[in-house]
């Protein structure tokens, strides 16, 4: 039998799914902006601000459901998971905006040496795939898919620290590309972390099991 809270939970889920799709769009546009050295700062900023508003709306919806329907433990698990995930999606947007602001201040990836260019491009591809995976696993409550985020996150971490080591050896002491690429690599590493957080929330949402994918 359908309960009154179920309709609200479905509405909240739909809000979170839309937010995930917009978060992917925001990061993708920002990275394209940086890689191709184009100007998309205004668009990325607008999308990032929209994600903040959407997160607040989802949080309000969650608290409304708690206040109106006195949810049971399984409902509270769902609500807690969605609230954590909306925060991670909001952070995707924040880091995307940081990337675009770095591009405006220091230039894009086209100014960098080839080894830097290829590293950031590969990291970007992995991170975008992680965001996509996090959203798909959320929609389907796919625990197996969510767990795959761990391996890619480890790869991004390894690339990040390897990149820093190479940078110390190869890059000149003062260089715009050095500054911008280090910052962007860090933002990509943090986005990858948040993707695993989403995966952890999906697993908790679907099974009640709390695990670490990092």
- CA 135, distance to chain mean position in Å, is 9
Q: Chain-wide mean pLDDT for the chain?
A: 91
Position with higher pLDDT, 214 vs 150: 150
The reported pTM is 0.88
Half-sphere exposure of 1 (CA within 13 A, CB side): 2
Candidates 16, 45, 51, 170; CA nearest to 103 is 45
In this predicted model, what pLDDT tens digit does every residue of 120-174 receive, in sequence order? 999 999 999 999 999 999 999 999 999 999 999 999 999 999 988 888 777 665 5
Tokens of 32: 């394209």
Domains of the chain (ranges plus CATH)?
A: 4-207 (1.20.58.220)
Residues above pLDDT 70, as percent of the chain: 97
């Amino acid at each position: 039998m359908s309960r009154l809270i179920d309709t609200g939970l479905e509405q909240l889920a739909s809000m979170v799914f839309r937010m995930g799709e917009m978060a992917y769009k925001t990061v993708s546009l920002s990275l394209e902006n940086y890689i191709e050295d184009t100007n998309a700062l205004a668009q990325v900023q607008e999308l990032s601000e929209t994600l903040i508003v959407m997160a607040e709306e989802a949080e309000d919806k969650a608290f409304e459901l708690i206040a109106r329907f006195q949810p049971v433990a399984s409902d509270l698990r769902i609500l807690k998971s969605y609230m954590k995930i909306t925060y991670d999606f909001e952070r995707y947007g924040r880091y995307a905006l940081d990337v675009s602001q770095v591009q405006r201040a220091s230039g894009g990836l086209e100014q960098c040496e080839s080894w830097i260019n290829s590293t950031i491009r590969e990291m970007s591809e992995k991170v975008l795939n992680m965001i996509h995976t996090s959203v798909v696993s959320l929609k389907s409550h796919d625990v197996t898919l969510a767990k795959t985020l761990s391996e890619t996150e480890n790869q991004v971490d390894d690339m990040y620290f390897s990149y820093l080591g190479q940078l110390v050896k190869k890059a000149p002491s003062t260089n715009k590309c050095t500054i911008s690429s280090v910052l962007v690599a860090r933002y990509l590493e943090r986005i990858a972390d948040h993707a695993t957080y989403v995966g952890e929330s999906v697993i908790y949402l679907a099974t009640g099991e709390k695990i670490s994918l990092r």
